[in-house]
Amino acid sequence: MIPAPLQIRVYADKLILWNPATLPEGWTESTLLAPHASRPFNPDIANVFFRAGEIEAWGRGIERIFTACRVAGTPIPNLRFDGSGLWTEFTFSAEYLHSMQAKTPIKTLPETLPETLPETLLKTPDSILCLLREQPTLTATAVAETLGKSRSAILRAIRKLREEGRLRHVGPRKGGHWEIME
């Protein structure tokens, strides 16, 4: 049986992700949110992603999401598990909502997006630009930690963005900032 695709729902004040997931036997939401040992559903697939550099370790995903939200000054997402999967609700911060009112509104997206769209929307270069737009003084290491990517993957993406003229660094390596050229 092929699981249902990831679903993304975008609202004016929040973003909700749903993933068809099952918790390990005997686990509850409390176990998931507390420090715990990792038990990948499929250790072989987890190992492939680890060796490919797509994840630096498994079992820290939720912790890293919460840390990234704290670093960004955004609310911690609400996690809810039910029999159908895991719901992750990101409420937009008041500052973000206020800043968006001053910008051109984003086109409304359908409530449920196809499975492949998150891959298109969340390519590493675009994720870097979004993050640096909000926090232009971040280092490549901080970007890598926030996005859950290896430092070398971030450096490759930054080099590509610079070559394309979409990103530039202003000032010294330490103490400078990034400018988005779009």
> Is the Cβ–Cβ distance between 20 and 82 less than 8 Å?
no
What is the pTM assigned to this prediction?
A: 0.48
Percent of the chain whose pLDDT exceeds 90:
12
Q: Tell me the average pLDDT across 122-150.
A: 82
The lowest-confidence range among 30-34, 47-51, 53-57, 166-170 is 53-57
What do you get for the CA distance between the two ends of the chain, in Å? 43
pLDDT of 5: 65
Q: Where in the chain is the domain with CATH 3.30.565.60?
A: 1-108
Structure letter (DSSP) for residue 44 = H
Q: Where in the chain is the domain with CATH 1.10.10.10?
A: 123-182
Q: Is 59 helix (H, G, I), strand (E, B) or coil?
A: coil
Tokens of 40: 């990948």
- Looking at the predicted structure, is the pLDDT value of residue 179 above 80? yes
Range 1-108 has CATH code 3.40.50.300:
no
pLDDT in tens, 90-119: 998 887 777 776 664 444 444 444 444 444
Topology classification of domain 123-182: Arc Repressor Mutant, subunit A (1.10.10)
pLDDT of 60: 72
pLDDT of 121: 43
